[in-house]
Chains A and B, each alone.
Chain A
Amino acid sequence: MPLVYDELRRVAGYLMGGERPGHTLQATALVNEAYLRLVDASKVNWKGRTHFFAVGANMMRRLLVDHARAKGREKRGGDWQKVTLSAGLRDSEDAALDVEQLLSLDTALTRLADLDPRQARIVTLRFFGGLTVDEVADVIGLSARTVAVDWRHARAWLRRELESGGLS
C-alpha cells in the first residue's frame, strides 16, 4: 500500500515536525490520522479499520525507526520527540521512548520475531497500532485468551531485553 505509506510518512513528518521538543507523541495517533485522512471513517466497518491498523502498525514501526535512525545520526536525541507507545512498556510516568530506546525496541522485536513470530506480531499491533487484545485476536484469527497470554509473556520478555540491553 504505497499510498498509505506515503500518507503515514507525511503525517508522521508533520506531527513530528518538532518545533516543540520534548513533547510526547502517540504513535497510534499517527496511524489514526493517516487512516482517517485516507478513509471516510464512518463508512468503513470495524473489521476494515482493524485491518487497516494492522497494516499501518507495521508501517508505523518502520517509519519511526527510520526517522529515529536519521535523527540519531544528526544529533544525539536533542530535538527528538519522545514517542509514547500505546500499551505502555513501562509503568513509570515517563512512558516515552527516546531515539535509542526506540531503536533498541526495534532490535528486540526483531529478535523476538525469530523466536516467536506470532508474539512479535502481537506486540507490533499493540504498540504501534494501538489495537486492544480483542482486536488483535480478530486480526490474527486467534482467541482473545491466546493473545492475552502471548502478550503477557512477550511484554515481560521485552522488558528484560531492553533493561539488560543497556537502556537507562
Chain B
Amino acid sequence: MNSNRHQRVKEIFNTVCDLGPEDRDQALDKACAGESALRAEVVDLLNFDDDPTGVAPNDRDEALTTVGSFRILQRIGSGGMGEVWEAEQRGSLERRVAIKLIKLGMDSREVVARFAVEQQSLAMMNHPNIARVLEAGVTEDGRPFFAMELVKGVPITDYCDQRRLTARERLELLVQVCEGVQHAHQRGIIHRDLKPSNVLVEEQSGKPLPKIIDFGIAKATDHRSAEQSVFTQLGQWIGTPEYMSPEQADPTGLDIDTRTDVYSLGVLLYEVLVGAQPFDPEELRAAGFDMMRKVIREVEPPRPSTRVSSLGGASVEAADRRRTDPDGLVRQLRGDLDWIVMKAMEKDRNRRYGSAADLADDINRHLNDQAVEARPPTVSYQFSKLVRRHRVAVASSAIVVIAILASLAFATVGLIRARRAEHTAQAEADAARAATSVLVDVFAGLDPGGQTGQSASAESILDRAAHRVGSELEDQPLIQAQLLDTMGSTATGLGLYDRARVFLDEALRLNRLHLGHSHPVLAQTLSKSSRLAYQTGDFRRAQLREEEALEILEATLGEGDSSLVQPLVNLAWALGRQADFVGAERTLARAGELANSGDGPDGLAMADVLFVRATMALWRGEWTDARIDLEHALGIRESNEENDTVAMAWSLHHLGWSERETDALDIAKMHDERAVSIMKEALGPSHPTLAAPLAGLGSTYVRLGDYEPARESFETALKLQEFGLRPNHPDVAHTLRSYALLLRRTGELDASRQLLERAIVITEAAFGDDHMEVWASVEGLARLEHDAGNLDRSRDLWTRAVDISTRVLGPNHRMVGSTHYNLACVLALSGASDRAIEHLRMAVAAGLVYPGMGKDPDLRTLRGNPEFDEIAKEMLEPHPAVQ
C-alpha cells in the first residue's frame, strides 16, 4: 500500500459509504473500473464501517419530527449524553412533555446501555417531587428515548425570592425535595448534580410543588464501570463546582454514594436560607481548577448565620426576601439551622446525614420546635490541618485574624528576646515555647466550620486567645502584654472596639507594672490605645495617650528621632478633631521638621504630615491651601510607589473635596471615583471606611446635578456605616449631612430634616457644643428650614451657628462672616431689618466678601436703606481687618 493508493481507496470509500446496498454495488463498479484488488479493499474497509458518526449531524437533527407518539416542537437543551426536546402528545391529550434522546454520534453500545439503565431507573420512580417518566421507546432510526413530564417552573431559589417566602416556608419546600431525593435513593439512583436549576418549582392549585429534574447523569448504584473522572471533553464538568461534594472533587476518585446528594442538598439548603452560596462562585472559579477542588475538599465554609453578616449591605436585600431584617435572619439561622446545614455539608461523608430522609427529619424537628440531631460533635482538628487551610487563599476574617496573630505574635517573641539581652538562653526558650504553645492551643481548638458549637468568628477567636493568654501565661507577663497588644490592635482594625479596649488596657497595666513608666514597649501600646480611642471618636483620650507615648519616646530616643513623626501626626489629628487648630499646627510643624530631616522632603513621612495639615485646612474652609498640600502629598505617594493604597485613597478623597468646593467639578469627580475604587480594592466593598469617599463622590454628583447616582452613593455609604460602625459614630454625621443636601435639592425636605436632626444629635453627643462639626450640622438644618420657609426656626438655627463658629474660630474668621450673612438674610426676610443690618456689619468685619449682596433677593427689603447701601459698597472691596 502506498500513499496514492491509500488516497484513492479513501475517496471511493467516502463516495459509497452512505449508499444503500444496490446503489453501492453500482457505484463501486463505476469507481473501481475493473480494478478488482481496489474494489476488494474498499469492500473490506466497508465492513469495518460503523453507522455514520460526526457526519453532518445537524441535517439529521432537523429531520426529526416525531418520536414515539409525540410531535417534536423545539430543542430545550443538550446534556452529556443526550438532547432534550419539548414535544406534544399527538391525539386528544395535548400534553406537553420533555423528550430525552441520545445525541447523534453517540450510538456506541456502551452509551446506549447506560441510557437504557437510566431510562429504566427513571421509569421506576414515581414521586410527586420527581419529574415523571411517561413513555420510553425507540425512534424510527433506532435511537432510544424517553418522555418525561415537562416541568414549567422556576428554579427553587428564584421561586422563593420572587414570592418572598419566609425561612419556614422555604424549609417546607426543601423537605419535599429531600423526600423526592430519598425516593430515588431507595431505587438505587443518585442524582449527582442537585442544584437550583435542577429543582424547579411549579404551582399546582396555587401551592408550590418542587420537582427534581435532569437525572441525566444519574447512575444506578450497581453499575460497574463508574467513571472515576468527573470530566468530559475539554474540561467540562459533570456536576457544577459550587454544588460539588468533596468526594466528587477528589481526583483519586472514591466512589460516589447517596451521601453525595446529601451534600448537594446541604448546599441547596444553604443557598435558599442565606441567599448566597457557601463559597463565592467568582472567587472559586478565579482561583483556578486545582485550587477550586482543594477549596471544596478542605476549606470549611462560613456557617449560614455568619455568612449573612458577612454580606454587608447585601444582607438587607436577602433578609427582605425572607420577610425579615438582617438581624432577624441571623437569629433565625443561628443554632439549629446552622447545625443542620453544616452537618449536611460535612467534608467527611461519614459524619453527614446518612440519607436525605434523615435530613428531612431533622428539618421537620426544627420546624416543630423539637431538638435536632445535628448536635455539634466534638472534634479535635490537627494543627497541621489548620496550617494547611491557611495556605488556601480564601478570604475569611477568621483566617485573617489567625494569620495576623501568628505572624505578629511570633515576631514579638523575637522582639522580646532581642530586648532582654541579659536573659539566659533557657529563659528565652521557655518564653518562646510558652507563647507558641498558647497559640497552638488556640489554633488547635479552633473550628472554623463551627462544629464545636462555637462560631469561628474573629470575636470568638480573640476571646479564646485572650482566655488562654490570661490563664496559661501568668508567669510570662511581658509575653502576655505583647500578645494582648497585638490582639488589641487587631481588634481595633476589625472594628471590635470593646474588646480592643479591654486587651489594650490590660496590656498597658502589665507593661506599667513590669517595665515601669518609661519603656518603649509601653509607648508602643499607648500609641495603639490612642489609635483605638480616635477610632471610637474619643479624641480627648486619644490626645492624652499619644502625649504620654511621646513623652516616653522623647525621653528614651531623644527629641530629634524620626520615629517620633508618627506619634506626632497622630497627636495632631486628635487635636484637630477637637478644633484645637493652634495646637495641631504646632505639633505638625514639629512633625514636619522631623520628617524633613528623617525621610527627606519627599519622603512618605512628609506625606503624612502634609495630609493632616491639608485636612485641617479643609475643616476650616481653606480650600486652596488644602489643595496644594494634597497635591504635594499625592505626588510623594505616587513617586514612592506607595504601597499603602488606603492612604492614597484618602489623599484623593480630600483632594476631590477641595476641588469640589472650588467648583472644579469634573476634576473632583475624577479624584472621587479614583478614591472609591482604590479603597474598595484595598479594603473590600463592605468596609465602613469606604463610606467617606463614597459620600464625597455623592456630593460631587449633587453639585453636577446627577441626583440619582448621588443618592445611590449616599445610600451605600450609610449602609456601610450602619453595619460597620456603632450607630453614633461621628463619621456617620458626615454622610448624613451630605445626603441631606441632596434631599434638599430634590425637594424631599422632610427626609432631609430627619437626617440633619440626627446629625446634630450625633455631633453634639460626640463633641459637645463647641465644635465645627456641630456647626456644620446646625448650618445644614438652618438652610433647610430656610428653604422650607420656616423662617423662625431657621433664624434660631443660624443664631446658634453664629455662636458656635464664633466660639471656635474667633470673630474674624471668614466662615463666621458667612454665617452672620446667612442669619442676616433670614432676619431680613422676617422683617427684622435693624438686626439684619447688624449682622451684615459683623459679616463684613469678619472679612466676608460678597459682591452679590446688593442683588441678593433675600435682602430686598433692605434696599434703599442707606446703611445697607453703604455696606454693599464696602462688600465690593475687602475689609482691612481680613486675615
Q: Which residues of A contact B (CB under 8 A)?
A: 14-15, 23-26, 28-29, 32-33, 35-37, 40-42, 49-50, 53, 86, 88, 91-93, 95, 114-116, 119, 130-133, 135, 145, 148-153, 155-157, 159-160, 163
Contact = CB atoms under 8 A, between A and B. Distances in A.
A153 B290 contact: no
Contacts of B10: 116, 119, 150, 153
A156 B288 contact: no
B580 to A, nearest CB: 54
Nearest to A151: B54
Given A35-B235, A53-B234, A93-B113, A116 B7 contact: yes
Contact of B231 (A32, A92, A135, A160): A32
A43 B101 CA distance: 33
15 contacts: A25-B228, A26-B231, A37-B289, A49-B234, A88-B110, A116-B10, A148-B55, A150-B10, A151-B54, A152-B13, A152-B53, A153-B10, A157-B45, A157-B48, A163-B48
A42 B56 contact: no
Interface in B219-233: 225, 227-229, 231, 233
Contacts of B3: 114-116
Nearest to A36: B289
B202 to A, nearest CB: 34
A132 B14 CA distance: 20
By CB atoms of chain B within 10 A, which of A15, A32, A49 has the most? Answer: A32
B13 A156 contact: yes
A160 B228 contact: no
A132 B46 CA distance: 23
A24 B234 contact: no
B233 A28 contact: yes
Interface of B: 1-3, 6-7, 9-10, 13-14, 17, 44-50, 52-56, 108-110, 113, 225, 227-229, 231, 233-235, 251, 285-286, 288-290
Given A148-B55, A153-B10, A160-B48, A95 B233 contact: no
Contacts of B233: 28, 86, 130-132
By CB atoms of chain A within 10 A, which of B17, B47, B56, B225 has the most? Answer: B225
A23 B235 CA distance: 20
Contacts of B108: 88, 91, 95
A160 B50 CA distance: 12
A124 to B, nearest CB: 15
Contact of A115 (B2, B49, B53): B2
A33 B7 CA distance: 37
Given A116-B10, A145-B56, A91 B289 contact: no
Contacts of B251: 14-15, 33
A53 B233 CA distance: 10
A130 B235 CA distance: 10
A152 B289 contact: no
B627 to A, nearest CB: 41
B95 to A, nearest CB: 35
Contacts of B54: 132-133, 148, 151-152
A91 B50 CA distance: 9
By CB atoms of chain A within 10 A, which of B13, B110, B290 has the most? Answer: B110
Contacts of A50: 234
Contacts of A114: 3
A74 to B, nearest CB: 23
Contacts of A131: 233-234
B234 A156 contact: no
A150 B13 CA distance: 10
By CB atoms of chain B within 10 A, which of A14, A15, A91, A95 has the most? Answer: A91
A40 B289 CA distance: 7
B414 to A, nearest CB: 37
A105 to B, nearest CB: 15
B45 A93 contact: no
B498 to A, nearest CB: 43
A94 to B, nearest CB: 8
Contact of A26 (B53, B113, B229): B229
Given A26-B229, A88-B108, A93-B113, A156 B235 contact: no
Contact of A149 (B1, B14, B48, B113): B14
B45 A156 contact: yes
A152 B17 contact: yes
Contact of A160 (B2, B45, B55): B45
Contacts of A29: 229, 231
A21 to B, nearest CB: 13
B46 A152 contact: no
B44 A23 contact: no
Contact of B110 (A35, A93, A119): A93
Given A24-B228, A131-B234, A155-B50, 20 more contacts: A14-B251, A32-B235, A35-B235, A50-B234, A91-B109, A91-B110, A93-B110, A95-B110, A116-B3, A116-B6, A130-B233, A132-B233, A148-B54, A152-B17, A152-B52, A155-B49, A156-B45, A156-B48, A157-B45, A157-B48
Nearest to A92: B109
Contacts of B50: 91, 155-156
Contacts of B235: 32, 35-36, 41, 49
B14 A41 contact: no
Contacts of A91: 50, 108-110
Contacts of B228: 23-25
A26 B6 CA distance: 31
A21 B815 CA distance: 86
Given A42-B285, A160-B44, A130 B52 contact: no
By CB atoms of chain B within 10 A, which of A14, A29, A145, A150 has the most? Answer: A29
B789 to A, nearest CB: 59
B289 A24 contact: no
A15 B230 CA distance: 13
A156 B110 contact: no
By CB atoms of chain B within 10 A, which of A36, A88, A153 has the most? Answer: A153
A57 to B, nearest CB: 12
B6 A159 contact: no
B873 to A, nearest CB: 70
B223 to A, nearest CB: 11
Contacts of B56: 145, 148
Nearest to B15: A149
B49 A156 contact: yes
Nearest to A135: B234
A64 to B, nearest CB: 15
Contact of A130 (B46, B110, B225, B234): B234
A41 B237 CA distance: 12
Contacts of A36: 235, 288-290
A158 to B, nearest CB: 8
Nearest to B55: A148
A61 B743 CA distance: 70
A91 B105 CA distance: 12
